């Protein structure tokens, strides 16, 4: 990738601990500190039941649209560092409670499958708490390999998702 090339990327943010609404809003604000990256748009906040163990609080989720000059792996590294700065502790229970979580959902038109990065993010088409906020920031996005986001979202019409 050329240094001058800006790549559109979409980042999912979620929390269900320590005032999740405040954690997600703070996470959205903190994205502005990423190097060579500009936040372009932010979705509304959405509340949803947990995907994993049900004996945990509901989640608050959002999506941010950014333009970045970082490659996908560098962006992921910065997101993981930001999680640590904002209070994400290890180890984390898979699909369990968390203070903050950032997921690289889509990175330009790329499809990446490595041991540490899957883009588009695994399950993006199966999770209303991802695809619905994604529509807020990119209603006409074509998710690489999966199709138009607005078509993917149609299957969630009755999904239990509350816009905050």
Angle at 28 between CA 22 and CA 29, to 5 degrees: 90
Distance, in Å, from the CA atom of 55 to the CA atom of 97, rounded to the nearest integer, reads 9
Which letter does DSSP use for residue 18 in this model? Answer: S
Mean pLDDT of the chain: 90
Residue 1 lies in a domain: no
User: What is the rounded average pLDDT of the residues 85-110?
Assistant: 84
CA nearest neighbour of 10 among 101, 107, 82, 76: 107
Q: Is residue 11 a contact partner of residue 103, using CB atoms and an 8 Å limit?
A: yes
The H or E element that residue 25 is part of is: helix 20-30
CA nearest neighbour of 20 among 76, 104, 87: 87
Q: Is residue 28 a contact partner of residue 60, using CB atoms and an 8 Å limit?
A: no
Residue 73 lies in a domain: yes
Peptide bond connecting 39 to the previous residue in cis, omega within 30 degrees of 0: no
Domain CATH for 155? 3.30.70.560
pTM of the predicted structure, to 2 decimals: 0.92
Give the residue numbers spanning the domain of 96.
7-163
Least confident piece of the model among 13-27, 38-52, 56-70, 150-164: 150-164
Distance, in Å, from the CA atom of 118 to the CA atom of 26, rounded to the nearest integer, reads 25
Confidence of residue 119 (pLDDT cuts 50, 70, 90): very high
pLDDT in tens, 135-152: 999 999 999 999 999 998
pLDDT in tens, 75-84: 999 999 999 9
Helix (H, G, I), strand (E, B) or coil at 140: coil
pLDDT in tens, 28-49: 999 999 999 999 999 999 999 8
Residue 91 lies in a domain: yes
Residue 2 lies in a domain: no
Q: Rounded to 5 degrees, what are φ and ψ at 105?
A: -85, -50
3 pLDDT higher than 70: no
Helix (H, G, I), strand (E, B) or coil at 79: helix
- Give the pLDDT confidence score for residue 97 in this predicted structure: 82
Q: Considering only residues 24 and 98, tell me which one the structure prediction assigns the higher pLDDT.
A: 24
Q: Considering only residues 61 and 51, tell me which one the structure prediction assigns the higher pLDDT.
A: 61
Q: How many domains does the chain have?
A: 1
Q: What count of residues does the chain have?
A: 164
Helix (H, G, I), strand (E, B) or coil at 64: strand
Confidence of residue 11 (pLDDT cuts 50, 70, 90): very high
Confidence of residue 53 (pLDDT cuts 50, 70, 90): confident
Residue 83 lies in a domain: yes
Residue with token string 């695994």:
122
């Amino acid at each position: 990738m050329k240094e001058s090339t800006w790549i559109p990327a979409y980042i999912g943010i979620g929390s269900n601990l320590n005032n999740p609404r405040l954690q997600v809003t703070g996470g959205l604000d903190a994205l502005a500190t990423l190097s060579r990256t500009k936040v372009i748009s932010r979705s509304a906040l959405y509340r949803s039941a947990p995907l994993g163990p049900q004996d945990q609080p509901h989640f608050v989720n959002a999506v941010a649209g950014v333009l970045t000059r970082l490659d996908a792996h560098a962006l992921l590294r910065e997101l993981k560092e930001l999680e640590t700065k904002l209070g994400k502790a290890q180890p984390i229970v898979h699909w369990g409670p968390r203070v903050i979580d950032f997921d690289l959902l889509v990175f330009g038109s790329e499809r990446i499958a490595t041991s540490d990065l899957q883009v588009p993010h695994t399950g993006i088409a199966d999770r209303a708490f991802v695809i619905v906020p994604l529509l807020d920031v990119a209603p006409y996005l074509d998710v690489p390999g999966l199709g138009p986001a607005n078509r993917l979202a149609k299957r969630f019409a009755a999904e239990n998702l509350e816009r905050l």
